[in-house]
Chains A and B, each alone.
Chain A
Amino acid sequence: MSDLNDAILAAHARSDGRALVGLYTQAADGANDTNTSCFFLTYAYIYALELGMAEADTLYVRLDANGRV
């Protein structure tokens, strides 16, 4: 998780929204509970939405499945 955390911070530092979508999705996938997962999925979804990335649709579906959008 530390490597992933470092990667997320580095992506934020260079304002790399596309990388953040993947990294936050990865964080969500590795979370141990639904709340934590949806917390990270939200970030992934928002950056994907901002950048018009196709991933926004699947991330929305995942959040919706948990009643989070």
Chain B
Amino acid sequence: MARNDSLTDLSVVRQPVETAQGLPNAHYIDEGVFEEEKHAVLFANWAGLAVASEVPEIGDAKPIEFLGIPLLLVRDRADKVRVFQNTCRHRGMVLVTEPKKIEGAIRCPYHSWCYSTAGKLVSTPHVGGAGFNTHEAINKDELGLIEVRSHIYFDTVFINVDGKAEPFEVVHADLLDRWKEFDQPMYHGGAESCFDLEVKTNWKLAVENYCESYHLPWVHPGLNSYSRLEDHYHIQEPNKYSGQGTLVYKQLQGPDDAVFPDFKGLDEKWNTGAEYVAIYPNVLLGAQRDHCFSIVLQPNTLSSTTEHIHLYYAEPKTSEDMRSRNAHLWKTVFEEDIFVVEGMQKGRHSPLFDGGRFSPAMDGPTHNFHAWVAGKVQEHRDMQDA
């Protein structure tokens, strides 16, 4: 791959927030840098792909393209969610092209090689000639589907495409500990509790906007009545994650002041508190006493991103009307952010824009993310040089 360090100087990004500048324009508008970041940031780390609830039943399979890679999300016979390259080991044919239930085996539509839901190659029809289904040169044990490393947290399916990252539990040990109280069953709210937003922006700008509370009074004036800027605090762990917390989380109330049931055993700080964390590179999580959410940012191209939003509750059966209202509320908030992330994307085409200056008081979480990206890209460049 061509080196891109002639395009961007990352040293200034990794300086302390007081003197740092943001990632250079090329990280948002240059195809070469996008390709570099694809490997350095998205393939080399634990990137969000989907949520496990997208394959709720055994045998459910869903094809998903991730940065051009055809992947297959499957819930196998043992109820384990797996991610495979959606490619037959024979002639490279894509196996599954639309969501479906695998009743028995995954059959390649080309020559009908068949795989179990656990990825094992189970049959190779006519591979030894008509009616001869074995051949000494074809060892089925060596030709199972290629599985992509995956880990599920907050129902979110994280993948490490290059297979070289430290285990998820190691990389994100701090966050897992911070939110260990939420390590309990959470239930997807169903069809009305998930929605997608198509955004004309580089995926990183959605992360950056999510991390900080600075914009809240300006972009989400409706939140001011109960969630004022001064009620928020920064969350920032260098080289790990960042986000924001609030001290005045207010539950949605339904008829007769009904509320969603709480997650069990939470500390009393969660009575009025909530936290919103970007788990790098591309997943945005929200933790609240009565519901959580996961947003998987799917980078489609350099300047287009799909935000997949899923809401979860503490109990499997909650008021459908309230779930619908809650989803509508969050959709309104997230839609309010669209003009910002699209506007920042357009702004990156100003050739003399220098990445921008951070407010040391307000932009720490955003700078934390920039510094992490810059570090990962620099690591990648250093590896290329070695």
Determine if A13 is an interface residue (Cβ-Cβ < 8 Å): no
A63 vs B106: C-alpha distance in the bound complex, in angstroms?
20
How many residues of chain B are within 8 Å of chain A by beta carbon? 16
In the bound complex, do residue B131 and residue A38 qualify as a contact, i.e. CB atoms below 8 Å apart?
Answer: yes
Chain B residues with CB below 8 A from A51, complex form: 103-104
In the bound complex, do residue A42 and residue B104 qualify as a contact, i.e. CB atoms below 8 Å apart?
Answer: no
A42 touching B131 in the complex, CB below 8 Å, given contacts A49-B114, A49-B123, A69-B123: yes
A46 touching B114 in the complex, CB below 8 Å, given contacts A52-B104, A69-B123: yes
A48 vs B125: C-alpha distance in the bound complex, in angstroms?
13
In the bound complex, do residue A68 and residue B131 qualify as a contact, i.e. CB atoms below 8 Å apart?
Answer: yes
Chain B residues with CB below 8 A from A43, complex form: 125
Of all chain B residues, which has the CB nearest A40? B131
Determine if B107 is an interface residue (Cβ-Cβ < 8 Å): yes
Determine if B250 is an interface residue (Cβ-Cβ < 8 Å): no
In the bound complex, do residue A50 and residue B107 qualify as a contact, i.e. CB atoms below 8 Å apart?
Answer: yes
Determine if B3 is an interface residue (Cβ-Cβ < 8 Å): no
Of all chain A residues, which has the CB nearest B130? A39
In the bound complex, do residue A53 and residue B104 qualify as a contact, i.e. CB atoms below 8 Å apart?
Answer: yes
What per-residue 1/0 map shows which CB atoms of B188-208 lie under 8 Å from chain A? 000000000000000000000
Interface residue ranges, A against B (CB under 8 Å): 35-39, 41-43, 45-46, 48-53, 56, 63, 68-69
For the complex of A and B, the 7 pairs showing the least CB-CB separation, nearest first, are A52-B104, A38-B131, A39-B131, A52-B103, A50-B107, A49-B105, A42-B125
Interface residue ranges, B against A (CB under 8 Å): 103-107, 112, 114, 122-123, 125-126, 130-134
